[in-house]
Amino acid sequence: MQRHDILSSLGIADAAAAGGDMPLRSPIDGSVLGSVQRDSPGNIEAKIGRSAEAFLTWRTLPAPTRGELVRRFGQVLRENKKALGHLVTLETGKLLSEGMGEVQEMIDICDFAVGLSRQLHGLTIASERPGHHMRETWHPLGPVGVISAFNFPVAVWAWNAALALVCGNSVVWKPSEKTLLCAFAVRALFERVAREFEGAPPGLLELLVGKTEAGTALVENPGIPLISATGSTRMGRAIAPRASARFARLLLELGGNAAMIVSPAADLDLAVRAITFSAVGTAGQRCTTLRRLLVHETLYDRLVERLSRVFETIRVGDPREAETLVGPLVDGDAFAAMQAALSQAREHGASVIGGERLFGPGGEAAFYVRPAIVPLREASGFTREEIFAPILYVIPYTGDVRHAIEIQNDVPQGLSSAIFTTDLREAELFLSAVGSDCGLANVNTGTSGAEIGGAFGGEKETGGGRESGSDSWRAYMRRQTQTVNYSPDLPLSQGVSFDI
């Protein structure tokens, strides 16, 4: 699909061509996709105000009715999967199959949320007082602020929005300034559904267009009870104190630094495939990207050699072409950060295999790289930092798998982890309380590509939030403990007597 067809079928051709102070470029060839106008501070306030209004109506609709809107939105996503998937590819540079996969992830979470809209269960609790009952009820929370990153410009928003909407909340979305067309397209598709939906107020989904200032305005606005933010740990450090200062709830999904352990009992063919997808998929720009490979010393040379052959020959280029497996980095800054990380490794005496710039469509205007392998003798300061690029540090471990787990956990981040082994004892140890300290722990599958059904997120500097499946919906609601006295007396709890 061509740019014009994509934009017009998604109903955003005019919006993209409106002209404004925020130009949008495709990482594929550096071409200009459009430009949009950033919101003034007044505009941002007005949008948040509209969202607050919308919440007042939306929360009164039965949850299954709210689910019906999400069901219809999922249907519109199905009908527009091709165009939206192409736009994701055009704006992020990820492979077409990954662009489509992202839209599929949106559809999946919509389906999940529709079912959930009939399962926002509370509890009934036995009361110690005669003639009383207690229960726990989950109520809508308020307008939810969603801050999303460029690398998953639509799926991560959908994880939040689909749940927030069935939970009875409105949504204010601050997307990455690098992927605004994706956000415009999603809003246009959502509006198609919301406009026709009886009872859906205007302002159910508001979009803030801007950079840090727009995010800050959202984070500091006292009308937003929950900020759900995906991005770097640096971003999290900037927003968390601001939100906490007004006691807002935070759902943070920040930096990752995933590791995979390859034990002597691993199925190596399987491991090589999983390592490659996890390390170079999405050009290494997922928060679940595999960055540290912890290999038993007896396998080390063999595995480095096999991976080097794969990385050397893997097809890097235009992500729209079927044979390509690695597309471009998002921009020149990402390229500079990758090169800085490789220089740092070299300064520590490491040799780097690959990592050089390649030229694809767009010549100098786009940033393609050969994925890099950095064999090391041991973990180091720089392997504890997150880099958003296809760099794989390979670190040997000796003896027991416990040594590998120790290296794995010795980083500030705690998002994703994996072990390749056919040894049940190793696998279960890795999954046990003394095993991986991450939010995601996988056996014989890679670190990236989680399904929506599980809770997604991680510990330590990753921020502790959980999005998407399982019971993550609870973050988007407020819990109320309710006590009802249906007796003619007033017994007090804990046997306290207070007779007037």
Residues at the contact surface with ligand UN1, assessed by CB under 6 A: 151-152, 156, 230, 286-288, 448-450
Closest CA to 165 of 59, 75, 81: 59
For residue 151 the two structure tokens come to: 């690398």
Which is it for strands 132-140 and 477-485: parallel, antiparallel or unpaired?
antiparallel
Residue type, 182: C
Return the HEC string of the chain.
CCHHHHHHHCCCHHHHCCCCCEEEECCCCCCEEEEECCCCHHHHHHHHHHHHHHHHHHCCCCHHHHHHHHHHHHHHHHHCHHHHHHHHHHHHCCCHHHHHHHHHHHHHHHHHHHHHCCCCCCEEECCCCCCEEEEEEEEECCCEEEECCCCCCCHHHHHHHHHHHHCCCCEEEECCCCCHHHHHHHHHHHHHHHHHCCCCCCCCEEECCCCHHHHHHHHHCCCCCEEEEECCHHHHHHHHHHHHHCCCEEEEECCCCEEEEECCCCCHHHHHHHHHHHHHHHHHCCCCCEEEEEEECCCHHHHHHHHHHHHHHCCECCCCCCCCCECCCCCHHHHHHHHHHHHHHHHCCCCCECCCEECCCCHHHCCEECCEEEECCCCCHHHHCCCCCCEEEEEEECCCHHHHHHHHHCCCEECEEEEECCCHHHHHHHHCCCCCCCCEEEECCCCCCCCCCCEECCEECCCCCCEECCCHHHHHEEEEEEEEECCCCCCCHHHCCCCC
Which is it for strands 132-140 and 123-125: parallel, antiparallel or unpaired?
antiparallel
For residue 268 the two structure tokens come to: 């190596």
Residue 356 CB contacts under 8 Å (≥ 6 apart), including other chains: 369, 370
Q: How far is the CB of 422 from ligand UN1 (least distance, A)?
A: 24
Q: Residue with structure tokens 């105000």? A: 49
CA distance 287 to 133: 45
Q: How far is the CB of 476 from ligand UN1 (least distance, A)?
A: 18
Q: How far is the CB of 278 from ligand UN1 (least distance, A)?
A: 8
Q: Tell me the residue length of the chain.
A: 500
Which residues are part of the catalytic machinery? 253, 287
> How many alpha carbons lie under 13 Å from residue 311 in its C-beta half-sphere?
29
CA distance 219 to 239: 7
